[in-house]
């Protein structure tokens, strides 16, 4: 038996190579710096890409029209023209008031009871159309009496004229004195005066009857109904039965500064047609166009303006 244990001898050719540093679980400071830089670059890239995407969506939304489609792109047509000399209109802005040319407030000229109302509120009535009827029976009776008196006196006048002719024939034959002929001539004149008086009474009573049938004096729009059948009206004129305002044509009254009075008057004296445009209260919508009719003959010294009327 050997006395000592034999140890294997390991030479350099039998030694294993040493493991690398990465296998030991440790990193060098140089490697850790590159890792941080790479992480920051990636993070900034992500933020930059998100910002670009949001900005692109915002631009697309702003470029789209209200219909949802993209903005139309294409060639734009340009038209060229030659510049010319001309006059530029001078405009004066003012606040105006719409005023009818005619406004008729109808009242009763006789006393009586309203029997019928023909018009409707807001109706367009024409000149001569019936509006209101008042009981005319008392006035018709008075007219009949006046006509009877006229007829009687006309016959009396006719008889007097016949007698005058007989007296003239008798005077020519020297059958009657001259005084009798003159008296008969004056009697004829007196009877003619009586007949004229009777004719005036007939005409007056006829007018009273006509007043019982009120007609539209002008063409225009009637306002609200102010009386009803059965109402008693008086000839004092304190009660308005209807109001009619002419609306076609219609006028607008406005004011212009006194500094602009001279050029406007010069144009009117030359028979120039000056256009007047009427706009709404917001000065956005044009209601109608017309022409300037006339200027007032007085200047308001408190405001330094003059009134004008446009149709």
pLDDT at residue 60, rounded to an integer: 65
pLDDT at residue 259, rounded to an integer: 87
Residue 215 burial (CB count, 10 A): 15
What's the predicted TM-score (pTM) here? 0.61
Q: If you average pLDDT over residues 196-206, what whole number do you get?
A: 96
Exposed, middle or buried by CB within 10 Å (0-12, 13-18, 19+), for 252? buried
Of 147, 122, 142, whose CA–CA distance to 211 is shortest? 142
pLDDT tens sequence across 219-247: 999 999 999 999 999 988 788 999 999 98
pLDDT at residue 10, rounded to an integer: 43
């Amino acid at each position: 038996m050997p006395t000592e244990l034999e140890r294997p001898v390991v030479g350099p050719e039998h030694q294993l190579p040493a493991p690398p540093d990465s296998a030991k679980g440790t990193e060098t400071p140089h490697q850790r710096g590159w890792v941080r830089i790479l992480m920051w670059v990636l993070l900034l890239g992500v933020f930059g890409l998100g910002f670009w995407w949001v900005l692109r969506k915002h631009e697309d939304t702003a470029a789209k029209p209200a219909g949802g489609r993209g903005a139309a792109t294409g060639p734009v047509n340009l038209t060229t023209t030659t510049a010319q000399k001309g006059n530029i209109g001078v405009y004066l802005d003012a606040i105006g008031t719409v005023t009818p040319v005619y406004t008729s407030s109808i009242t009763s000229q006789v006393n009586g009871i309203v029997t019928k109302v023909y018009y409707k509120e807001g109706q367009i009535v024409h000149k001569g159309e019936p509006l209101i009827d008042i009981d005319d029976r008392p006035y018709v009776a008075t007219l009949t009496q006046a006509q009877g008196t006229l007829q009687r006196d006309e016959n009396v006048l006719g008889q007097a004229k016949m007698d005058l002719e007989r007296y003239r024939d008798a005077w020519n034959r020297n059958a009657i004195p001259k005084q009798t002929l003159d008296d008969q001539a004056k009697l004829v004149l007196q009877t003619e005066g009586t007949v004229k008086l009777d004719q005036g009474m007939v005409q007056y009573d006829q007018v009273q009857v006509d007043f019982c049938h009120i007609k539209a004096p002008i063409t225009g729009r009637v306002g609200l109904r102010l009386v009803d059948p059965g109402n008693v009206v008086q000839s004092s004129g304190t009660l308005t039965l209807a109001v009619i305002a002419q609306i076609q044509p219609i006028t607008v009254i406005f004011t212009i500064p006194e500094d602009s009075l001279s050029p406007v008057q010069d144009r009117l004296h030359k028979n120039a047609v000056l256009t007047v445009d009427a706009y709404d209260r917001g000065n956005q919508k044009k209601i109608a166009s017309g022409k300037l009719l006339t200027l007032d003959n007085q200047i308001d010294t408190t405001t330094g303006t003059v009134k004008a009327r446009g149709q």
